[in-house]
Amino acid sequence: MVKLFVDSGDKNSLLEQLRSDEVHGATTNPTLMRNGGVTDYQGFACELLSEISDKPISFEVFAETFDEMERQARLIATWGNNVYVKIPVTDVHGESSAELVRRLSEEGVKLNVTAILTADQVRTVARALSRDVPSIISVFAGRIADTGVDPIPIMKESLEICREINPLSELLWASPRETLNITQAEQIGCHIITAQPALVDKYRKMTGMDLTKLSLETVRMFDRDAKAAGFHL
């Protein structure tokens, strides 16, 4: 069964979702945290970790140089045993982070390598990650789909790469756009999918819904909104 992670930069939303048995972990990133109004990165993280210590949570480095990424990664890793450090697959200049990933992973740092969009990137990362330390490989299937490319073949190939090269690495389906993506991730055997709180709630509400009932609810919605708007012809 695919594990459902929540993806957010809002502490209250994260805590609400993480307290549910349906949610198995969390991810965040600087963009989500900025959108959530976070100004104290470490304070935000430590407040969250003080309440959630039994589910994995990923926090991302933010730096232009690998030296600074490494410094931040080592700091973030000290925040809790359930912490995964997110390292982007390249720096801002497009240089691969594989050597940094290899060094940190071999030293026992649990990593979540992120912003991956190609199978070649997955292969490079899987080879760099230690086969003895838990890790996550995050492929942005939603962003792949945004370009008009079907992400399913890439996700299937990525799973095979993980199985062949680094079986301890878990493949994460990132940036889902609809609840169908959760079903798709489950069907192909993806290990994790991370979704923002609104999509998690929508999945809970609508998965398995009777389509005839949903059709009637849709008709009633149109009728209700037309009346509320006071439309006349």
Give the CATH number of the domain where residue 51 resides. 3.20.20.70
pLDDT at 31: 97
Distance (Å, rounded) from C-alpha 215 to C-alpha 40?
A: 46
What is d(CA 187, CA 10) in angstroms, rounded to the nearest whole number? 30
Give me the pLDDT at residue 223, please.
97
Q: For the residues of 46-102, what is the DSSP string, one character each?
A: HHHHHH--SS-EEEE---SSHHHHHHHHHHHHTT-TTEEEEEESB-TTS-B-HHHHH
What's the chain's Rg over C-alpha atoms?
Answer: 19
Q: Do 196 and 173 meet the contact criterion of CB atoms below 8 Å apart? A: no
Nearest to 138 by CA among 168, 171, 110: 171
Contact 47, 18 (CB under 8 A): no
In a domain, residue 95? The reply is yes
Do the beta carbons of residue 200 and residue 4 sit within 8 Å? yes
| Residue 215 within any structural domain of the chain | no
pLDDT at 85: 98
Q: Give residue for tokens 């709180």.
A: 197
Per-residue pLDDT at 168: 95
**How many domains does one find in the chain?**
1
Q: Identify which of 218, 206, 211, 161 has the alpha carbon closest to the alpha carbon of residue 179.
A: 206
DSSP letter, residue 94: S
Whether residue 229 lies inside any domain: the answer is: no
Q: Residue 148 contacts by C-beta under 8 Å, 6 or more apart in sequence?
A: none
H or E stretch including 93?
none
Share of the chain above pLDDT 90, in %: 100
Eight-class DSSP state of 2 = P
pLDDT tens for residues 40-59?
A: 999 999 999 999 999 999 99
Segment 67-80 mean pLDDT: 98
**pLDDT (mean) for 203-219:** 96
Q: 139: which 2 tokens?
A: 């492929």
Phi-psi region of 37 (alpha: psi -120 to 50; beta: other; left: phi over 0): left
Structural domain containing residue 162: 3-208
User: Is 220 part of a structural domain of the chain?
Assistant: no
Residue 187 domain-assigned (yes or no): yes
Report the catalytic residues.
86
Considering the domain boundaries, does residue 213 fall inside one? Answer: no
- Is 98 part of a structural domain of the chain? yes
- Does residue 222 lie within any of the structural domains? no
Q: CA-to-CA distance for 194 and 196, rounded, in angstroms?
A: 7
Model confidence, pTM: 0.95
pLDDT of residue 189: 98
